[in-house]
Amino acid sequence: MAADTTDNHQFHQVYKTTLIRAEDMETRFIRIYPGQENSELKAELFTESLKTFKDYVALSYTWGNTLPSQVPHTIYLNSYPFEITENLWDGLKRLQRHFCTSTPISVWADAISINQDDTNEKNLVVPMMKDVYSTARLVIIWLGDGDELIDKTFQALEKISAQVEDLPKFLQSQDDIRIIAETAEVDIETLAQGFVDVSNRSWFRRTWILQEVALPTTSPLVICGNSVLQWDRFIEALGYLHQFFVDEDEGKGRVMPKDLRSMIQGANGLNPRTPNVTYHIREHYHHWKGVIGGIPFMPLLEDTALCLCSEPRDKIYGFLALADDESRKRIEVDYNKPIQQVYTEAFELSVEGLQGFQTLSKAGLQFHTDPDTAWPSWLPNFDRCGEPSFLKLFAQEQRGRGSIYNASLGLPPIMKRDKNELYVFGLFVGEVESATPAYSQQAVPQSGLANRPTPHNQTSSWVRLEKATSLLLLEQAGLESDECYTENGHVIPNDGSLVCSGCIYEPALDSTPRTGQQLNVSVSYQGTPAEWDWKFVEPTDKDHEITPIVPCIEGKPLKEAIWRTMIADHFAYLPWMEEGVPAPDSCSTAVLKYASHQSGRHDHSVEKETTVDEDRVAQNAMVVALSGRCVLRTTNDWIGLGTVNTLPGDVVVIIAGADVPFILRPFGDRYRLVGEAFVEGLMFGELFEDDPVFTGEPQSDLQLEGFLLF
């Protein structure tokens, strides 16, 4: 719950006359009386129980600018002057104008209905937000003031929503532009300007919007200036325009005029997930409500990853009303708790849920601005971290934890926590010998955009490989570009290709115990990894004699290892698509062709022609994989990608309960979490699946090491 920074000298006076009894589910409402447009706003603050009082409007809005330089507006509550922000003032005046022409209207607005200076009251009322928005007769979404452009845009949105099923899904030709303009009955430039204006409204960046949209029993009303549109129609049309303009062409060749493209790139205020997530959130919530009382915790946390709030605890509390029963029982709203404690509770809940230790992808030194911070490296700072790249945490129920990878092959998470320390268990892969940034960012002239797929996380800049990543990986693999070594140790000249076809990628595994903590695991084999029954065995169990895992890693051509690493073994136009994981062999030509072009060195081994679509997917896949990454090599010859702050001496481990490897930094007998990693040959459980213990025996055992993170 955001805290108002305006100086309200009479706060306590008006609240002292309207005390609430939380045990009776009481809260405050504002009764607004009819008045003139330019007149003072006089209202009555009163209390009612949510058990019985239903005749009110709940307002969903953004607090607006509360800088000291902003002069707040004054309303009169029970004759007491009460200062509010300009945006709330505008919203209340608009409600008065639209819904209060002859009779009063009762409104619930958090900045007034809750005493923001009373933390204990917030602790009591915030858990009631679920009832506030679900029992209101109407929820109003106030986007702010409008103008002629907004009026035209809302009219266009209404027309688009009525015919959205018949419209082209993506912009692929000039005819598509004509069709959408004729449907909207407005020229395409005006429609694009309006789309950018609406998309950039700060309301879309709020953490609280999901519950304010999902909880109402009837579809909310969206008001912007003088324009009004039902939420379901509004978000359907806005989501369509986002797909049409921003997602654009799905790899079919860009046809958007240059000036229009430049305009659309200004729509950076819209959370990329907002149209899709908010469009489905009502249906999603009501489905899960009948199953477990609400939406599972981790998908909600992911859906709000890019949302903002002024109170860091609201990164958790802001969606809790939508969460399942168990999550709401586990996490108690308490604004007196330290932020670290609130986030630790969320971390433990997410680890125990479907996501397991993939929550660690949101943590690590990559998110620390101060390397000496007391904040634990393993604990995500949910108020700062964005979305991880290697792990696609969309709610893909059919893939278990939702990841496109499966490095620990379904091993359940196990942890021991003591204050700021976290014990995790896994397998040591190797020590990082070298780590080099894989890219550099350069501004790209607008004329160059037409031939390049813009990554979803970038607009005006483009990632250019610092040197051909294939050559960089070649160096990391310990091979020179002018000569290569075969598996028999013979030196043969390089024919000009990026990497000799005779070289073999066959890294070893360092099975030397690094720590004094081991954990024994018993596995009951039942056919497929999904059917394996993992059981942790206490070291004192005399019936089990555990030996360290000694996997047999099957070698592969080095060229294959390199091109798979360049795209993180994910060949798909959209970063979250499951298709193309692992990448099919057929895409190797497109990847190597693009790498060859980037290096300025023709690869004679790449002769097969590729389509424009394949080339574009290869470009995009490489950019997604390499952006913000380094190319790494371990002392035992594993190659892969890590975060840019990876250093020689760091170690790579696979943590039980995580679907990607992680990089740790040793500090004595403890470790700091650096970040997630991609390691070629380990991403799909090969370290476990290829081991002799999983070759069909009815029951097998393995030993994991313990790593103490701090």
Q: Which residues pair with 703 in a beta bridge?
A: 520
pLDDT for position 265 = 67
Q: What is the pTM of this model?
A: 0.84
pLDDT in tens, 215-272: 999 999 999 999 999 999 999 999 888 877 776 544 434 566 777 777 776 555 555 5
Say what the pLDDT of residue 252 is.
39
pLDDT tens-digit readout, 645-703? 999 999 999 998 898 999 999 999 999 999 999 999 999 888 776 554 455 555 566 77
According to DSSP, residue 246 is labeled I
Q: What is the pLDDT of residue 281?
A: 85
Q: Average pLDDT of 538-564?
A: 66
The pLDDT value given to residue 489 = 46
Higher local confidence (pLDDT), 335 or 249: 335
DSSP-derived letter for residue 308 is: B
C-alpha triplet 213, 219, 220: angle, nearest 5°: 60
pLDDT band per the 50, 70, 90 thresholds, residue 528: low
- Residue 362: exposure state from Cβ atoms within 10 A (0-12, 13-18, ≥19): buried
- Report the pLDDT averaged over residues 465-473: 54
Rounded Cα distance between 660 and 558, Å, is 21
pLDDT band at 38 (very low <50, low <70, confident <90, very high): confident
d(CA 59, CA 54) in angstroms, rounded, equals: 14
Mean pLDDT in residue range 594-602: 61
Distance CA 7, CA 596 (A): 62
Token reading at 169: 């899904």
For residue 433, the one-letter residue type is E
Please tell me which of 41-55, 481-495, 518-532 the model is most confident about, judged by mean pLDDT.
41-55
Q: Is the pLDDT of residue 514 over 90?
A: no
The per-residue pLDDT for 441 is 47
Question: Under DSSP, is residue 559 helix (H, G, I), strand (E, B) or coil?
Answer: helix
Please determine, for residue 535, whether its predicted confidence score (pLDDT) is greater than 80.
no
Helices 231-241 and 148-163 pack at an angle, to 10 degrees, of 90
> Would you state the pLDDT for residue 654?
93
Q: Beta-carbon neighbour count of residue 125 at 10 Å?
A: 23
Tokens 């013979």 map to which residue?
490
Phi, psi of 523 (to 5 degrees): -120, 125
Which residues have a Cβ under 8 Å from the Cβ of 337 and sit 6 or more positions away? 313
d(CA 11, CA 428): 58
d(CA 470, CA 626): 12
Supply the pLDDT for residue 366.
73
Q: Are the CB atoms for 388 and 355 separated by under 8 Å?
A: no
Read off the pLDDT of residues 270-326 as tens digits, 9 standing for 90 and up. Answer: 555 556 667 788 888 989 999 999 998 988 887 788 788 889 999 999 999 999 999
Least confident range of 145-149, 218-222, 306-310, 609-613: 609-613
Question: How far is CA 663 from its chain centroid?
Answer: 21
Averaged pLDDT for residues 550-567? 80
Band of pLDDT at residue 398, cut at 50, 70 and 90:
very low
Instruction: Please determine, for residue 86, whether its predicted confidence score (pLDDT) is greater than 70.
Output: yes
Is residue 485 scored above 50 in pLDDT?
Answer: no
Counting residues of the chain whose pLDDT is more than 70, the rounded percentage is 71
Mean per-residue pLDDT, 430-438: 90
Residue 628 pLDDT greater than 70, yes or no: yes
Q: Determine the Cα–Cα distance for residues 443 and 430; give it in Å rounded to an integer.
A: 37
The mean pLDDT of the chain is 78
Taking the domains of the chain in order of start, what are their residue ranges?
Answer: 11-136, 146-277, 293-438+514-547+628-710, 461-503+556-621
| b/e sequence 629-662, b meaning 16+ C-beta within 10 Å | bbbbbbeeebbbbbbebbeeebbbbbbbbbbbbb
Q: What's the sign of the alpha-carbon dihedral 588, 593, 598, 600?
A: positive
Local structure of 557: helix, strand or coil = strand
Contacts 24+ apart (CB under 8 A), 344-348: 344/379, 345/316, 346/297, 346/301, 346/316, 346/382, 347/379, 347/380, 348/417
344's CB contacts (< 8 A; 6+ apart) are 379
Task: State residue 549's pLDDT score.
Answer: 55
Calculate the alpha carbon distances from 375 to 155, 339, 493 in Å. 49, 10, 52
Angstrom distance (rounded) from CA 286 to CA 217: 10
- Return the H-helix or E-strand segment holding 556: strand 556-557
Burial class (CB in 10 A: 0-12, 13-18, 19+), 135: buried
The region of weakest confidence among 37-41, 118-122, 208-212, 418-422 is: 37-41
The segment with the largest mean pLDDT, out of 174-178, 493-497, 687-691, is 174-178
